[in-house]
A and B are shown apart, each in its own frame.
Chain A
Amino acid sequence: MGSVTTSHDMGLHEEQLTGRTQQRFFSASEEENFTYPWSYEVDYDKSAEFDAADMGISEINLKIRELMKSGHGSITVNNPRAKHSLGVGILNRVNLNFEGSLGYFGCGLIDGPNIRISGRVGWSCAENMMAGTVVIEKNAGSLFGAAIRGGDLVCRGQAGARVGIDQKGGTIIVGGSVGAFTGFMMQRGRMIILGDAGANLGDSMYDGTIYVAGQIANLGVDCVETELTDLDKRYLQGKLDLYDMTAPNGIDNMIKLTSGKQLWNYDNLEPTEKKLVL
């Protein structure tokens, strides 16, 4: 009830859902902030470590938050023991290191942290990730990077089916092979697959780019091969160098896939309807 009153006080009930912003809220020449106004001030050189073996999920996530609040910029979580939903909702710059494996929905809804996981991850790792980097040293389950919106998500091993389903931005890199329906309904962003791709790759993709180094079982509806440009090659080289990864047959031999845009079918309700749904 309190929230509703506050939102009415703020005038949100009168706001038009047109999605068009003409009002200017700030002066570009005066603002020089690099982090969100609510972020914790952390120092990457200030590190902390704790054992999560006997801790519950909420307890571990709150401990991470408390450490950030006290200025720790580098945090190591030992023995996460594949618990679910760890490292979620972090909207801060921080170096977070999980020594072990994570269960389902690890590192979801994050905006800014740099996370490394020494083991494996379960389903939906980094779902809805907004910014930052997540590096998984071993394998990932299905729905890896579902609906990711930004940042770099890296799996050095193999990943399951539906990698990057509904991807809306960011870069997903998989060092091994990926399962069926990878890139399903992809809308934006880039995906780099250094191994093979399963059936129906890029099915119903609206936009975005998929680069594949290995064999492709088959392409999904509206996924088409396009020319690999010099800018693409430079980009791929830069990204792979960043994570110390290489294309097995060289970047020049990678295949670039984009949307054929034959499924684009906006109707006359689309602009209004889309804004209301969003």
Chain B
Amino acid sequence: MADQDINHFLEGDGVDTEREKIIGQHIGYRYDVNLVPDMERCTPFLRQYMEIMGWTDLNWLEDVHMGYEEGNPAVFDRNINGWVTIPDTIELPDNQQDRDMIARELLIKFQMASGHPMVDLRKAYEKFT
């Protein structure tokens, strides 16, 4: 995984393994989910988020990485069980650590946005106000 080209999943369909060839699609879970974050690469937004939450490290965002869905860079949102596409206006850095930091920042912005699907779901199903 570490030796793989950083743009491997952007330039091809990612159907590499025997299992993926059988099912005809890339299994998105197979990224280096064990890559621990390099805290020196945190963005200012993430530093501010950590301060507001009272954390001195990335906490749950340690498990967030930039993935690739159907040739597009994306980040997985566990709250909607789906991939969120990274806007094509964002230029991707040439290393996974910096890409992961971008994915983390965008995921926070998406999850905390008033247009997130969880806002509507909460209105429909919440038990407590």
Contact = CB atoms under 8 A, between A and B. Distances in A.
Interface residues of A, number: 60
Interface string A120-139: 00000000001111000000
Contacts of A270: 23, 27
Nearest to A207: B33
A211 B34 CA distance: 12
A36 B112 contact: yes
A273 B85 CA distance: 23
B115 A150 contact: no
A235 interface: yes
B54 A114 contact: yes
A44 interface: yes
A242 B62 CA distance: 15
B109 A28 contact: yes
B95 interface: no
A142 interface: no
User: Interface residue tally of chain B, by bracket?
Assistant: 35 or more
A12 to B, nearest CB: 8
Contact of A169 (B63, B115, B116, B118): B63
A93 interface: yes
A242 B60 contact: no
A160 interface: no
Given A34-B108, A242-B56, A188 B63 contact: yes
Contact of A171 (B54, B56, B62, B120): B62
Contacts of B126: 38
A28 B81 contact: no
Interface string A154-187: 0000000000000001110000000000000000
B116 A26 contact: yes
A269 B115 CA distance: 33
Given A20-B69, A189-B63, A32 B36 contact: no
Given A31-B113, A34-B48, A268-B22, A258 B34 contact: yes
A271 interface: yes
A266 B27 contact: yes
B125 A232 contact: no
Interface in B1-56: 19, 22-23, 25, 27, 33-39, 48-49, 52-56
B128 A65 contact: yes
A249 interface: no
Interface pairs A-B: 6 shortest CB-CB: A150-B60, A21-B82, A33-B112, A131-B60, A169-B63, A235-B36
Given A190-B36, A266-B27, 11 more contacts: A10-B120, A24-B87, A26-B109, A31-B112, A34-B112, A35-B112, A37-B116, A38-B119, A38-B126, A170-B63, A209-B34
Interface of B: 19, 22-23, 25, 27, 33-39, 48-49, 52-57, 59-63, 69-70, 74, 77-78, 80-85, 87, 90, 106, 108-120, 122-126, 128
